[in-house]
Amino acid sequence: MSEPFKTVALMKDLMSRYYDLGEEARRKGIPVVWVTAVFPVEIIYAMDLYPYYPENFGALASARKVADKLSMAAEAKGYFNDLCGYARCGIGDAYASEHPVGKILSPDLLLCCNTQCGSLPKWFEAAARFYNKPYFLWDSPYIEEQTSDLKQNYLIKQLYELINFLEVTTKRRFNIDKLREVVALSREATGLWNDCLEMAALKPAPFGFFDACIHMAPIVVWRGRREAVEYYRELKAEIEERLEKKIYAIPNERHKVYFDHIPVWPKLRWFADMFAANDTLVVASQYTQAWAMNFDPARPLETLAEHYPQQFVNRGVDYRLKLKVDFMRRYNCDGFVLFSNRSCKPNSIGLYDKKRMLTEMTGLPGVIFEGDMSDLRFFSEGQVKTRFETFFEQLG
Amino acid sequence: MVIKELMNRFFTVVADPYSEAKRRKEQGQKVIGWLPTDVPEELIHAAGAFPVGILGSSNNIRLADTHLQVWVCSLMRSSLEMELCGDLDFLDGIIIPQTCDTTRALSGLWRKVCRTPYVEDFLLPKQVKRPSAREYLTGELARIKTSLEQVTGKKISDETLDTSIRLFNENRQLLRRMFEIHTHQPGLLTSREVYTVIKAAMYMDKAEHNGILRDLIRALEHKAAESAGTPDSKARLVISGGVWEPPEIMDLIEEAGGVVVGDDLLTGMRYLTPDVDEERNPLEALADRQLNKIPFGGFDNQNYERRRFLLDLVRNSEARGLIFLHLKFCEPENYDYNDMREALNSAGIPNLRLETEVANPSLGQIRTRLEAFIEMIGGNPIERTL
C-alpha cells in the first residue's frame, strides 16, 4: 500500500458528509432508500432521495474487524454463519445491543438488484420484514453468453415499474432530464476512477489495488453527484504528482499480479504488506473495476439497464475468463490470485477450474486461497501464507 | 391389485431411477434431464424427448469436490458427482433452472467439466408479482421451446404442447388425489410411500405413472371405505424445505410417531401444484403455473407471504407441528428460516429444524431429535425392535 494520500483527508470529510446527510434526511423526512452496490442509484439521486448502502456498512464492519461480533448477534437470532458476511453484519446490527461501527441506518424503502447475487435480495427481504418497509427487486437475468432483447426489455420494463413504485411511495415526481444530468455526472466520475485504476499499469506504478480499495468508497456512494467527480479529479492529480516525484505504490516493484474480486477486508493491511515484502504489486481486480462504467447520458434508462446487469458477476464462464485474461494482459501481470470467498458464492463457485483454465490461457502461475471477505473465523493465516509462499516462488 | 404390489413398482423405480430413461435412449428417444426445480417438463415432452429429474444420490461425493467448495449444498455437489462418475452418460441434455447462486454458477461449470452434450439454463424471473415477470417468463419459455426444438429436431405445435399439458395436469391431479386420501386417513400409506410415489413421477413415463397411480387410488379408496372411522394416533406434521433427503427421514418420522400430511417441498407439493390452464395459450399458461406456485425461498415472497402460507398450511392440514427439513448450506432457506420460525412460534405452532445432506447422511442425532419433538407434541412412537 502506498504512503497515505493527501486526498485521504478529503475522502474522510466526504464520507462523514455522506453519513451526516443520512441523519439529515431522516430529520427532514427525505426517504432513506437502501440500495445495493451495483444498482442504478442515478434514479435515486435524480429524485432527490437519500441512497444508503448496507454493503458499505458490511465492508466497514469487516475492515474494523467486528464482522464476527455482529454476525454472532445474527446467529443468536437464527441466521447461519454460512450466509454472506455483509448480510450477517447488517442483520446482526439490527438485532445487536452494541453497535461497534455505529448503527446501520434504517430504511424507508429497500431497492435491490440481483446482478451481484441471490444473497442480497434475501437479505433485503429479511430487512424489509424487520423494518416493515416496502421492497422492490430489479430482477436481472443471468447472461450466459450475451444479453437479448427479451432480457433488455424486461430490465427496461422493470425500470418503469421502479419509477412508478418510487413515485407512489415517495409522492415525488421523476424527471428524465434530471436523470440525464445525474448519469452524466456518474459517467464523469467513473471515467476518472478508471483513469486512476489505469495508472497501476505503469511500471513502477504509483497506485495499486489496495490503494483502490481504500479510495473506492466515494465511487460507490457518491456516484451520480458532483462530489464524486471532484474527488476523483483530486485523486488523479495527486497520483500524477506522485508519478512526477517518483513516489511509487511499493518500494521495489518487480512483479505485477491480478487479484480476483474483493479483498479480505479485516486483513487488507496484512495482504498489502505480504505482497510488498515480495516486491509484488497487485494492480487490478474485476471488483474495483466494476465501477469503471461508461454510461451514455443521451439514453439514460437504456444505459443503466445495460451497464448494471451486464456486470461480470452476472456473466457466464467464458466472459469472466476473458475479462480476467484481458486485465492480466492490459496490466502486464506475472500471475494471478483467486479468492475462494465463502461469503460470495457467485464469484467463488467454479474458481477451482478457472485457476487451471487461466494458467492454460495465459501461461501464468496462479494461487487460490480460502477465506471470508468479512469474518476472520474463516481465515487461517498460516494456511494462506503457505499457499502464497509457493506462489511467490513461482513468480521468481 | 393390492396396494403393496403397486407400491413395489414405485419403489423399484426410485431404487433404479434411470432404467426407463436408458431404455428410451436405446430406442432412439432423446433424454433431457432437469435439476430442481421448476423446469417445465411439458416442453421437453412435447419436443418428443423424455424428461427426467436429476436429484442427487446417496453415493459418496469424491470427484465433485475438486470442482465445488465444501460449502456448496450437497444436492448440487451430489448431482454433479453423478455426472462426473458416469451415472448420467445417457443424457442428451440437461436444463438447469437458476433458482439460487449455486444453480446459477453450476450451469457454467456443467458446460465446462461435464460430457452432457446440450446444457440449457432456465432463467426464471425472481420477482413473481409484477406484470413484467409474466411477460418476460412467457418469452423465456418461448426461448426454451425453440432451443428444445433445435436439439430434438422436432417442432412443438400448440396441439402437441396442449396434449403434453393435459398429460402432466392429469398426473398432478392424480398425485393430489392420492395425497388427499392420505391426509384424510394417514394410516393407509406411510409417509415414505406417499412421497416415493411423487418422486417416481420425476423418473417415469407420465402415462405409465398415471396408469399405476390410478390403480393405487382405486385400491386406496376401497381400503379407505373399509377402514373408515379407525382412529389414527399419529402426530400430523407439515414439512418445509427443499427435498426430503435422505429418504430414511420419512421412516424416522413415522417410527417416532409422526406422519407427514403437508409440505412445501420441491419434491413434494411444489411439484404437483398448480395445474396449467388448458384453455389458454400454452406458453402463457405455463408461465402462470410457474408464477402461481407455492412460495419458495428462491423467489421474492414479499407479496405471497411464505410465513402466512406456512401457518395456513399447518392449520388446513390439521397438523400439530412443523419440521423444517433444510439442506446444509441452502442459502434461500437459511435467510428465510428465522422469520418463518418466529411466525410459527407466535402462532403457537411447535417447530423443529433438521439439517440434512443428500449424501453420507448420519441419522442417529436426527432420530433422537425427532423422537423428542414428536413426544413433546403428543405423538406415540412405534415400538422399535432392536
- pLDDT digit string, tens, across residues B8-64: 999 999 999 999 999 999 999 999 999 998 999 999 999 999 999 999 999 999 999
pLDDT class of B378 with cuts at 50, 70, 90:
confident
pLDDT attached to residue B303: 58
What is the mean predicted confidence (pLDDT) over A156-167?
A: 98
pLDDT at A4: 86
C-alpha cell at A163: 419509477
B338:A126 CB<8 A: yes
Q: Kindly indicate whether the ipTM for this predicted assembly is greater than 0.90, answering yes or no.
A: yes
Task: Tell me whether residues A123 and B300 touch, CB distance under 8 A.
Answer: no
B63 touches chain A (CB under 8 A): no
Size of interface A-B (CB pairs under 8 A): 136
pLDDT of residue A3: 79
**Cβ-proximal residues to A306 (8 Å cutoff; 6+ apart), any chain:** A147, A152
At residue B37's C-alpha, the angle toward residues B177 and B20, to 5°, is 70
Q: Does B144 touch chain A (CB under 8 A)?
A: no
* Residue B267 in this model has a pLDDT that exceeds 50: yes
> What does the pLDDT average to over A229-252?
97
**Cα A272 to Cα A262: distance, rounded to the nearest angstrom:** 13
Residue B385 has what pLDDT?
A: 39
- Inter-chain touch B297–A122, beta carbons under 8 Å: yes
Q: Do B335 and A119 touch (CB under 8 A)?
A: yes
Strand-pairing partners, residue A366, are A336
Q: Give the per-residue pLDDT at B386.
A: 39
- For B17-26, B97-106, B370-379, which range has the lowest pLDDT when averaged over its residues? B370-379
Q: Classify residue A117 by its DSSP letter.
A: -
- B96 belongs to a structural domain: yes
Number of domains composing chain B? 1
**Count of domains observed in chain A:** 1
Position B62 scores a pLDDT of: 95
Which residues touch A344 (CB under 8 Å, ≥6 apart)?
A84, A117, A261, A262, A373
Cβ contact A119–B331 (<8 Å): yes
- With cut-offs at 50, 70 and 90, classify the pLDDT of residue B123: very high
Q: Does residue A277 carry a pLDDT above 60?
A: yes
Percent of chain A with pLDDT over 90: 97
Q: How confident is the model at residue B233 (pLDDT cuts 50, 70, 90)?
A: confident
A48: left (phi over 0), alpha (psi -120 to 50) or beta: left
The CA distance from A175 to the nearest CA of chain B, in Å, is 22
In a domain, B44, yes or no: yes
Given this model, what pLDDT does residue B359 score? 79
Q: What is the mean pLDDT of residues A119-143?
A: 96
Residue A107 predicted with pLDDT over 70: yes
The pLDDT value recorded for residue B88 is 98
B214 touches chain A (CB under 8 A): no
- For chain A, list residues whose CB is within 8 angstroms of any CB belonging to chain B: 77-80, 82-83, 87, 114, 117-119, 121-123, 125-126, 128-129, 135, 137, 139, 141-142, 144, 148, 150-151, 153-154, 157-158, 161, 316-317, 340, 342, 345-346, 348-350, 352-353, 357, 370
What is the per-residue burial (b if ≥16 Cβ within 10 Å, else e) of A184-203?
Answer: bbbbbbbebbbbbbbbbbbe
Closest CB from B104, B123, B298 relative to A346: B104
Q: Which amino acid is at B247?
A: P
Taking the C-alpha atoms of residue B169 and residue A132, their distance in angstroms, rounded to an integer, is: 38
* pLDDT tens digits, B164-184: 999 999 999 999 999 999 999
Residue B190 covered by a domain: no
Q: How much is the pLDDT for A75?
A: 96
pLDDT at B37: 83
B303 touches chain A (CB under 8 A): no
CA atoms of B190 and B175, how far apart (whole Å): 15
Yes or no, beta carbons of A345 and B331 under 8 Å apart = yes
Distance from CA of B86 to the nearest CA of A (A): 19
Q: Grid coordinates 419458495 are at which residue?
A: B296
Domain that holds residue A145: 1-396
Q: A246: distance to nearest CA of chain B, Å?
A: 43
And the C-alpha cell for B159?
Answer: 396441439
Q: How far is CA A10 from CA A111, A197, A230, B231, B342, in A?
A: 29, 19, 10, 77, 45
Residues of A in contact with B122 (CB under 8 A): none
- In this predicted structure, the answer to whether residue B304 has a pLDDT above a threshold of 70 is no
Those residues whose C-beta lies under 8 Å from the C-beta of residue A184, and which sit 6 or more positions away, are A295, A297
pTM score of the predicted model = 0.96
A330-334, B186-190, B298-302, range with the lowest pLDDT: B298-302
Q: How many residues does chain A have?
A: 396
For residue B365, pLDDT over 50 is answered with yes
Q: Decide if pLDDT at B383 tops 60.
A: no
Contacts of B106 in chain A (CB under 8 A): 349
The whole-number average pLDDT for the span A342-367 is 97
pLDDT over 60 (residue B150): yes
In this structure, what CATH number is given to the domain that contains residue A314? 3.40.50.11900
pLDDT band at B302 (very low <50, low <70, confident <90, very high): low
Whether residues B338 and A82 touch (CB distance < 8 A) is answered with: no
Which residue range is the domain that position B147 belongs to? 18-154
B382 pLDDT band, cuts 50/70/90, is low
Strand partners, B262: B238
CA gyration radius for chain A?
A: 20
Mean pLDDT of A73-88: 96
Cα-to-chain-centroid distance, residue B273: 11
Q: Tens digit of pLDDT for each residue in A182-238?
A: 999 999 999 999 999 999 999 999 999 999 999 999 999 999 999 999 999 999 999
Read off the CATH number of the domain in which B139 is found: 3.40.50.11890
Q: Which residues pair with B53 in a beta bridge?
A: B34
In angstroms, the separation between the Cα of residue B110 and the nearest Cα of chain A is 10
Specify whether the CB–CB gap between A291 and A41 falls below 8 A.
no
Provide the residue type at B309 as one letter. F
Over residues A152-174, the mean pLDDT reads 98
| pLDDT above 70 (res B360) | no
Dihedral angle sign, alpha carbons of residues B291, B297, B303, B307: positive
Q: What is the pLDDT of residue B227?
A: 83
- The alpha-helical segments, DSSP class H, found in A112-225 are 119-131, 149-170, 176-198, 209-215, 217-221
Tell me, yes or no, whether B31 lies in a domain.
Answer: yes
Nearest neighbour of A78 by CB, restricted to B67, B113, B341: B341
With contacts defined as CB-CB under 8 Å, which chain B residues touch A154? 125, 132, 135-136, 139
pLDDT at A30: 98
Give dist(CA B238, CA B65) in Å, integer: 33
Q: Give the number of other CB atoms < 10 A from CB of residue B363.
A: 14
Residue B133 forms contact with A (CB below 8 Å): yes
- Mean pLDDT score across all residues of chain A: 96
Tell me if B277 is assigned to some domain. no
Mean pLDDT in residue range A64-87: 96
Least Cα separation, residue B95 to chain A (angstroms): 13
B145-184 exposure pattern, b = at least 16 Cβ within 10 A, e = fewer: bebbbebbeeebeeebbbebbebbbbbbebbebbbebbbe
